[in-house]
Every structure is written in structure tokens, then in C-alpha cells.
Structure 1
Amino acid sequence: MHFEVSGRTEPDAETIVLSSGLGGAGAYWAPQMDVLQRHFRVVIYDHRGTGRTGGEVPVDGGIAAMADDVMEIVSQLSIARFHFMGHALGGLIGLDIALRWPNYLDRLVLINAWSKVDEHSLRCFEARIALLENTGVEAFVRAQPLFLYPAVWMSENAERLARDDLHGVAHFQGRDNVLRRIDALRRFDIDDRLGDIKSNTLVIAAKDDLLVPYTRSLRLAEGLEHAELMVFDAGAHAVNITEADDFNRELERFLLARKA
């Protein structure tokens, strides 16, 4: 597993592990790094099958195998307890960790995640799979921003998206890896186990998320025993990028609340 550690270096510094969505890249969290590095030892990583980790996603491992990868990193770094922030797929990894390794997990941040996939999200995944299978990698990559960002934001950041498209095609994680990761998203279902999770949790959603209806986050906040809900009116699926300043303020407030 490729991972990077930055931020605070004191032996007793608190650690936060960041896990991205379907793309799997640790670089996804660039807008959050400055604020987090001031307070925490920050661990980012590239998911198995993606980026500098590479390799193959296990055929039948699902989200549990991805959580195992996180705990492998935690073990290598000898971390006894940590905060965890996950976006979409990364949020599902965080929920799995909360169920299987509760003693390791301190605070949990879930961004546009879910306890059970929504039928609308399934439709979106089917459309993306069809693009990949019938049209090719370039079409698959070029469609990705439609599910991540608001239309106006995409219009105002056209040059950035063009660069992202080139990078996405050049570093495509591979057909089999994508399909296995999407399959893990579709099969994940802990809806009847949310009450077993005791971690203090910040649930974040955006009302204009095209990929994951924000009602999935309402369900998380309802089912989790110690959950706080923050719903943005706009920002779409990648709200931590498109509304980074407001997002970072809420994130910092939640993670540092007990120290106030």
C-alpha cells in the first residue's frame, strides 16, 4: 500500500486517516491538507488497484478487503487510535472499520456516503459501466465530473477538468479494478447495523449531489447513535472540493470540539 504521512510529528500527535472515493487517490484531499496538518498527523493513501499502490482489487473482497488495507497501514505506523474521514466509497470503508475495529476509531467523518446503496445511485453506476464497456476509457473518464461537480463549477474550471481528464486516462486503474470496486459499492449493506456504531460521527451531504441522494446521509444520521448532520445546499458529490472553505470550517470545528 502506498501511503504518505504529513502534518504534526510529535509522538503523541493525534492521527487522521483520509480515504477517497471510487478514484482511490490520496491526492483527492488536497483542499483539506493545510487545515488538517496544523492539528494532526495526516495519513493519505492510494487504494489497492489505483495510483501508486496499483495491483489488483480482490474479486470477492468487497469493502471489507479495502478496510483491511487501511488497517495494514495503521499497523505499519503503530497507530493505536485514529480519526477517519471517507468520501463515498471511503466512507463505507470507515463504517466497516467502525464495526470491526471500534477500539481503534475515534471520530468518523462521512461525506456523501451510505449504509445501503440507493436505486438512483445504482442507475448512475450502470450508466458509467455502460460507458466503459461500450465506449471506452476516455468516455468513462470524461463523464466522471458530471457525477462529482455542479454544472457552474465545471464551467468555471474547464481547464482543470481538461487536465484531470488527461491524467485520468493516462493513469486509469483498469477495467477489472473499476468493475470490482463498483461491485463492492453496490453490495455494501449495513443498514440494520448502524446502531452498533458508537463513534462520534459527522455526516456531511450536499442536496445537489447527482450520484448519491442526500437522503442517504439523513438515514446515516438517523441510524448512528452519536451522529451530527451537516447538509450543504450546493456543492454536489465532491463538496469538500467545490465548497472547500465552508467544508473545512465544519470539519475543523467537529474534530477539535472537545478541545475547546
Structure 2
Amino acid sequence: MHFELHGRQDPAAETLLLSSGLGGAGAFWAPQLATLGERFRVVVYDQPGTGRSPAELPADYRIQHMAEDLLALADRLELDHCLFMGHALGGLVGLQAELLRPGLIRRQVLVNAWSRPNPHTARCFALRQRLLRDSGAAAYVQAQAIFLYPATWIAEHGERLAADEAQALAHFPGEANVLRRIGALLAFDVDAELGRIQVPTLVLANRDDVLVPWTSSQRLAAGLPQATLQLLEWGGHASSVTDPATFDRVVLDYLSQALEA
């Protein structure tokens, strides 16, 4: 599994693991690396079956498989504790990892994540599955921006999106892998187990997210014993890309509290 280390590398540096969403590639976090790297040793990785971690995912692929991969990475890095941030599917990976190994994560940020499926998000992913099956990878990749970004941002970044889509299509992980990853996130449900997760958590959501309603984050925060809910007004599902200055400030303020504890 491909991973990279960024930021501080001194022995005193706290390690921050970043887990990406459905796309799975660590490059998603590029806008955050410089800012977060000033305070932390930052680890990004390409989840198996995505990016530079080629693999044929099993038919019964689930979030638990992804959490086990995350724990294997922590073992490889010889971590007995760390900080964590996960975006959407990446947040689900963090929740599952905590259920499998309590105590590894000492503070975390979950961005536009959820504890159980909701009808709106299920509808969106069902459409994306159908688009991939019926129209192919090019159409799937082109439609992705509609689910990730605000309309105004899309209108202003046409050239960037065209370049991003060409890159995504050139490194597309294959229809089977994408469909199995979508199936895994649609099957995820830890709503009844949230009380077991005692990690201080910032649940960060965007009111204008068209893929995951912010009320899913509200429900997640209500179920976690040590959670704080913070809502951003603008930025869509991927505000780490569309408004990195605001996103980074909020995240850094919260995670830096771990250094002061």
C-alpha cells in the first residue's frame, strides 16, 4: 500500500493520519499538506484498489477491510497513538478502526461523514453506480464534480476540472473496484455502536453539501460521547479543496488542542 510522509519528521512530532473518501488517493489532501505539516508529521496513503495501490478488491469488500488496512499502516509506522482525519468514506474507516482498536486514535476530525446510510446519499450513489455501469468511466468521472463542489466553484474552475478529470480517467481504478467501494460505504452502519467510541471528535460538515446532508453529521455527533459539531456554510462536499483556508484553520485549531493536552 502506497503511503507518503509529509511535514515534521522530528521525534517529538505528533503523527496525523489522513484517510480520503471514495476516490481513495492520498493526493486528495494536497491542499492541506503545507499547513498541517507545520505542526504534525502527516501521513497520506492510497487505499488498496486506488491510486498507486493497485489491487483487485474482493466481492464482499467492506469498510472493515479498509479499517484493517489503516491499522496495518499504523503498525508499519510503529504507532501506539496518532491523530486522524477522514473525509466521507475516510471518516467511516476511522470509526471502524476505533471499534477494532480502541486507544490508537487520540483525537480526530470526521468530515462530511455518517454513522448509517441515509436515503438521499443512497440515491446519489445508486445514480453514480448506474452511470458507471451504463455510460462508462468517462461519464462517471465528469459527473463527479457535481457531487463534490458548489456550482459557483465549478463554473469558475473549468480548466482545473478538465485537467483533474483527465488525470482521474488516466488512473481510473476499474469499474469493479469503484462499484465495490460504493457498495462498502452503502452497507456501513455503526449507529448502535457509537457510544463505544470515546475519542474526542470534531464532526465537520458543510450545509451546502449536495451528496451528504449535514444532518447526517448532526446525527453522528449526537451519538459520539465526546463529539463537537461544526458547520461550514460554503464549500460543498469537498470544502478542503474549494475553501482550504477556512477548512485548514478549523482543523488546525481543533487538532492543535491535542498538543496542549
What is the TM-score normalised by the length of structure 1? 0.98
CA distance in structure 1 between the partners assigned to 2:161 and 2:57 by the alignment? 27
Unaligned ranges ≥5, structure 1: none
Match of 1:10 in 2: 10
SS class of match (1:205): strand
Shift of 1:83: 0.7
Match of 2:204 in 1: 204
For structure 1, which segment, 70-79 or 140-149, has the greater mean C-alpha deviation from structure 2 after superposition? 70-79
For structure 1, which segment, 75-84 or 141-150, has the greater mean C-alpha deviation from structure 2 after superposition? 75-84
CA distance in structure 1 between the partners assigned to 2:239 and 2:195 by the alignment? 27
Shift of 1:49: 0.3
CA deviation string 1:130-164 (max 9, x = no partner): 11111111000000000000000011111000001
Match of 2:103 in 1: 103
Amino acid at match of 2:131: L
Amino acid at match of 1:248: D
Amino acid at match of 2:86: G
Once the two structures are superposed, the pairs formed by residues 145-184 of structure 1 within 5 Å of their partners are 145-184=145-184
Contact 2:61-2:181 within 8 A present in 1 as well:
no
Shift of 1:14: 0.7
SS class of match (2:236): coil
CA distance in structure 1 between the partners assigned to 2:257 and 2:13 by the alignment? 16
CA distance in structure 2 between the partners assigned to 1:61 and 1:199 by the alignment? 26
Shift of 1:240: 1.3
Contact 1:109-1:201 within 8 A present in 2 as well:
yes
CA distance in structure 2 between the partners assigned to 1:73 and 1:208 by the alignment? 33
Shift of 1:11: 1.8
Match of 2:66 in 1: 66
Amino acid at match of 1:87: H
SS class of match (1:23): coil
Match of 2:75 in 1: 75
Contact 1:58-1:65 within 8 A present in 2 as well:
no
- List 4+ stretches of structure 1 deviating above 3 A: none
Paired residues in the alignment total 260
Amino acid at match of 2:145: P
Contact 2:82-2:105 within 8 A present in 1 as well:
yes
SS class of match (1:238): helix
Instruction: State the identity %.
Output: 50
Amino acid at match of 2:170: A
Shift of 1:77: 1.1
Contact 1:115-1:191 within 8 A present in 2 as well:
yes
Amino acid at match of 2:45: Y
CA distance in structure 2 between the partners assigned to 1:203 and 1:162 by the alignment? 31
Contact 1:145-1:154 within 8 A present in 2 as well:
yes
CA distance in structure 2 between the partners assigned to 1:195 and 1:79 by the alignment? 25
CA deviation string 1:169-195 (max 9, x = no partner): 111110110011000010000011111
SS class of match (2:107): strand
Match of 1:114 in 2: 114
Shift of 1:58: 2.5
Amino acid at match of 1:213: P
CA distance in structure 1 between the partners assigned to 2:142 and 2:72 by the alignment? 33
CA distance in structure 2 between the partners assigned to 1:38 and 1:102 by the alignment? 28
CA distance in structure 2 between the partners assigned to 1:223 and 1:71 by the alignment? 24
Contact 2:21-2:87 within 8 A present in 1 as well:
yes
SS class of match (2:228): strand
Amino acid at match of 1:43: V
Amino acid at match of 2:8: R
Amino acid at match of 1:73: L
CA distance in structure 2 between the partners assigned to 1:123 and 1:112 by the alignment? 17
SS class of match (2:254): helix
Unaligned ranges ≥5, structure 2: none
CA distance in structure 1 between the partners assigned to 2:36 and 2:2 by the alignment? 20
Contact 2:108-2:255 within 8 A present in 1 as well:
no
Shift of 1:35: 1.3
SS class of match (1:239): helix
Shift of 1:10: 1.6
Match of 1:220 in 2: 220
Contact 1:35-1:248 within 8 A present in 2 as well:
yes
Match of 1:126 in 2: 126
Match of 1:142 in 2: 142
